[in-house]
Structure 1
Amino acid sequence: MRWIKEIYNCFHAYKLWFLILIVTNLLFIFFAWLAYPETFKVLVGLMIVFTLAMITLPVFVIMRKQKIIEAALQDFLLEPNETNEDILCRVSPKTHHPFIRRMGSVLRSYQTELNEQVMELADYENYIEGWVHEIKKPLSLMTLVLDNRSDEMSPLVRRRMLHVRDQMLGDVERILYFARLEAAHKDYMFESIPLLAFCKQTMEDHRTILDESGFQIQFIGEEREVISDRKGLAFILAQIIANSTKHAAQNQVHPILTFETAYDKESDHTILNISDNGPGVSGEDLPFIFDKGFTGRRGTYTREATGMGLFLVSKMAYDLAIQLDAKSEPGSGLTLSLIFPHVK
C-alpha cells in the first residue's frame, strides 16, 4: 500500500508533464492513423509500450530521488547545520537552493535562541530550588522560636505567627512543586488511604490557618478507602484549603468548609466533595478556574489571588488519575469534587 501511495503522489506532483506526454502520444496516434492506416495497429502498440516505459522509468527514478531528498531533509531539520544544508542542496533541484539556504539561516537562529532560553530556564529552576531550600532555614528557626518561647508571647501573637508561618510554608511548597512540574520522574507511592480520616489529619496540619480565618469544619458521609499518593493528595487538599481561606473575608456569614464522601454505583467511583460557603464563582468564570494564572472577578477584589493554586491542583490530580469537577453559583460557595478511580 505504501508504494502505491508513493506512485500516486508522484503522478499527482508531476501530473502536468504526464498529461502533456499523453496528449502528445494521442496526437501522434492520430497522425499514424492518417499516414499509415495499414500498419496503424502495430504503430499504436509500439507507441503505447514506449509511452508506458517512458512513464514507468521516470516514476521510479523520481521516487528514489524523493527518498534521498526526504532523508537529507530529515537530517537537516534535526540538525540544521551548514553541513546538512549543503547535503540537502546537492540532492535537491537548484531552484530550491535559495529557499533551503534561507530556511537554514532561520532555523539556526531559532535554535540559538532556544538553546539560550533552555539554559536560562535551567538556571532559573536551579535558583528557585536553591532559594526554597534556603528559605526553609529561617522558617525552621521561626518554628523553633515559637515552640521554645511560647511563654514569652501572648496566645494571640503566637497564633498569628503560626498562621503567617503556615502561609509561608504553603507558598514555598507551591513554588517547589511548580518548579518540578515537568520532571521526568516523580516519586509517587500509591497506597490505600481512608479518605475521611486523611482529610481530618490534613485539617489538623492546617489548623492555624483555619482558626485564623474562623472556619468551621464539617465531615459528612461514610469512611471510604481510595488508592492514591499521600503527599500528592495532601498537596491537593492544602491548595483547596488555601483557596477557601483567601476568599473567606468576602463572605458575610460564618465560613464553613465541608468534606463529604459519596459513592457512584454506575461508574464505581469514590467522590470527595469539598464545599465552602464563600462568594462562589460566576458562571462565565467557572470553566476556567483550573487554568494557569486565571483569577476571574474574585481576584480583583481579594488582591491575593494568583491563579496558581487550582492550576497546581489540576496538574497533581492529573498525575494521580483523579478527575476534577467544580460547581458554584455566585453567593452560594464553591464545591470541588475529587473523583477517585476504582482500583481492584
Structure 2
Amino acid sequence: MTAFAWAGCFTAISSLVFGFFVFFHNPTRRLNQLWLAFTLAVALWGGGSVWIGLETDAERALWAWRVSFALSVVWIPILFYHFVCIFCHVHQPHLLLGTYAVGVLFVPWIVGSDSFFAGVRPVFAEFFYPQPGPLLFACFTMMWLGLTVYSHILLLREFRRSAGLRRMQIIYFFIATALGYTGGSLEFLPMFGLDLYPWGHFAIPLYPVIMSYAIIKYRLMDISIVLEKSLSYLLLFSMAVIPAFGGLLWGQKVFFGRISYTFSATMLAFFHLFVLGAYSLKIRAEAAIGRTLFKRRYEVADALSRFSQALVTILDFSTLTREIVRTLVRVLTIQHATLFVWDKGKGVFAPIASTAEISLHVFPRFSAGDPLPLYLQTHRDLLVREELEYHSFRDPESIVLLDILRHLQAELCLPFCNTKGELIGFCLLGPHLTQAGYAEEDLQLLRSLGNNAAIALDNALLYEELKQAHILMQRSHQLRSLEIMAGGFAHEVRNPLTSIKTFIQLAPHRVGDYRFLREFGRVVGEDVARIERLTQEILEFSRSPAPQLKVEDLNAIVESCLYSLQVKLAGSAIHLKQEFACNLPPIQADRQQLQQVFSNLLLNALEAIDEKKKGVVRIRTFQQVTTQERVWVVAEITDTGEGIPPQVLDHVFDPFFTTKHQSREREGTGLGLTIAHQIVEAHRGAIDISSEVGKGTTVVVRFPAFSSGSLWPVERSAELAHTSADHGGPGGQNEVTHLQGNQ
C-alpha cells in the first residue's frame, strides 16, 4: 500500500469522525450541516486517494481520478466558502449561487471530457497521475485556489473585528484549514510536470486534530466537549477495529495467498463506521422494540423522562406543584397523589397540592422529627409499601411507617432532596387504577423524576423567596420615595398656592382694575399649569407601569424624538450632531416609554446650553461588548453646556431635585430624570451621567441586546465606516453620521 493511499485512508477516517461528531451534536443547525457536507467531500477525496494509490491499471486509474474530482475535489472549496459565509455572517447569495453553478458545470467536463484530463502517466514508480487538458484544467485550478484564498480572506476580516473567545476560535480554525489546504494544494504540482511526491497529502488529516483541540479548549462552533468521551471513542476504536483489521490481513494471506489492500481499506472503513454507530444502533433498537412490544411501559417511561426534564424550566411554585401531582396521576394511572413541602415559617411538611377529592386541611402535617420525614431524610430513597409489609413482622420502624402509609392510602412515597442532601418535600402516591403494583422500571424512573423535581422545587422556593424580597424592597423604596415626594410636593405647591390664595383674596376688592386682573390672572394660570404638570408627573412616577416589551430598533426610537428638538433649534446657534451605528442589534423595549426617556434627556441637553452662545448637542448609538462577551446597545447624549457640579451630580436622580428654577419655557419639577431612571431599570438597562463643569455633560443609556438563538448572544458587526451627510435647515444645524458596526 503506497504512502499516498495511506494518507488518503487517514484523511477519510479523520474527516468522517470529526464531521459526524459535530453533526450529531446538533443536526438541525445549519452550521453543523454544512460542516458535515464539507468533511464528507474531504473524506471522499481521501477514499479516492486510496483507490488511486492502489490502482495498477492506467484506464481504471484515470477513471478513479475523474470520479474523485467530480464527487469531492470540485466541491471542497465551494462547501468551505459556504461554511465560512455562515460562520462569519457574510451575506453573498449571488456569489454563493454562482459558485455552486460553476461546480455543476464542471462535473460533466471532469467525467467525460479529455479537455479536463487527457490521460494518466506513471509517477514515483507507485501509481498513476493525471495529465491535464489544454485549458479547462487550468481554469479549474484558478477557480479552486481563488475561492480557497477568498474564503480565508473572509476569515481574516472576521478575525480583525472580533475579540476574546471569538478571536481564538478563528485563529485555530484558520490554522487548521490553511494547513490542510496548503498540503492538498501541493498535489496539483505533478499534474503540471513538477514531479514532487505529494507528501502534503499527510497534512490534510491534521486539520481534524487541530479543530478537535479548538473545540475542547475554545468551544468552536458552540460545542462543549468532554475530553473523556473523545478518549473513550479512541480507546474503543483501538481495541475493536485495529485487532480486527490485523486479523483481516492475516486471514487474506493464509487463505488466499495475497492481500487486497483495496478490500482491506474498505473493510477498515466499514469497521470504523460500525464501531461509531453500534451504541446508537443499540439505543434505537431498544426504543423500537419498546414502542412495538411494550407500548404502554414505553409511553410511561417516555412521558416521565420528558416531564422530569421540563420540570426545571417551571419557576412558579403553584404551577410546579400542581403539574407534578397531575402528571404522576395521569402517566402512572394511579388513583391519587399528594405533595408535601417543607414550610420554613411553621416548621412542618405541609400538603401543597393533591389530586384527592378531600381538602388539603384534612391531611396531617409532619415535623422534621416525625418517623416518615426522618426515614426519608436518612435513606433518601423511595419508600414502598409492599416492601414494608414484607419487613414489618421483624422491624418496629417498618410497622410505624406502614401504618402511616395505610392511613394516607399511599402505596409509595417519593422523597425530594436538594443538592445539599436536605429533604425539602415528598409525594405520596396512591395505588394503580388496575390494582397492579409498581414495576422496577417505574421505580427507577420515579427516582430520576425525584432528583429533577427536587431541583425544580428548590429553584421554585428560592424564586419565591427572591420575589418576596424584591416586593419588600420595592415597597421600602416606594415608601422612601413617598416620604421624599410628600416633602417635595408640599414645597413645590406652596408657592403657586400662595399666589392663587392672594389673587382670590384681592380679586373682589379690585374688580375694576383690569391690568391687575390680567397680569395676576396670567400668573395664576401659570401656577395652575405647574401644579397640573407636577401632579401628572407624580402619577406617572407612582404608577410605574410594566413595559410592554417588543423587539425594537433603538435608532428608530431615538430618531422619532428628534423632530421636536429640531424645531426648537430653528434660529438658534446650537448644532445638533447625530451618529447612528448601522446594523445595530435589536432590543426588547416599550417604544412609548423609551421615547419619553430620550425626549426628556434631549431637552435637558438642549436647555443646558445658553441660547445666546454656540453649542453642540451630540447623540450617537453604538454596540458595546463587555469582557464577559455580553452585548449592549448604547445611546450617548452629550452637550457642551455649563456642566453639573460634583455635589449636584450625586442627586440628579432624586425625586424633586432640580436646578431649573429660573423663568424658562420648561421649568423643572425634578421628576424627569427620576422617571427616566425608573423606565431604563425596568428595561434591565442602565443610565449613567458624567459631567465636567465648564465643558458639558454626557448621559449614557445602555440596553441588553436581544438575540433569538444565534451562535453567540449577538453577533458582532463590521468595522466602523463613517459616512456623513449635512442637512441644512433654517437656523439650527443638523449633522447626521451613520456608523457601521461596533464601537
**How does the TM-score come out when normalised to structure 1?**
0.44
Q: Could you say which structure has the greater relative contact order, defined with CA pairs below 8 angstroms and 6 or more residues apart?
A: 1
Name the one with the larger helix percent: 1
**How does the TM-score come out when normalised to structure 2?**
0.22
Specify the structure having the higher radius of gyration (Cα).
2
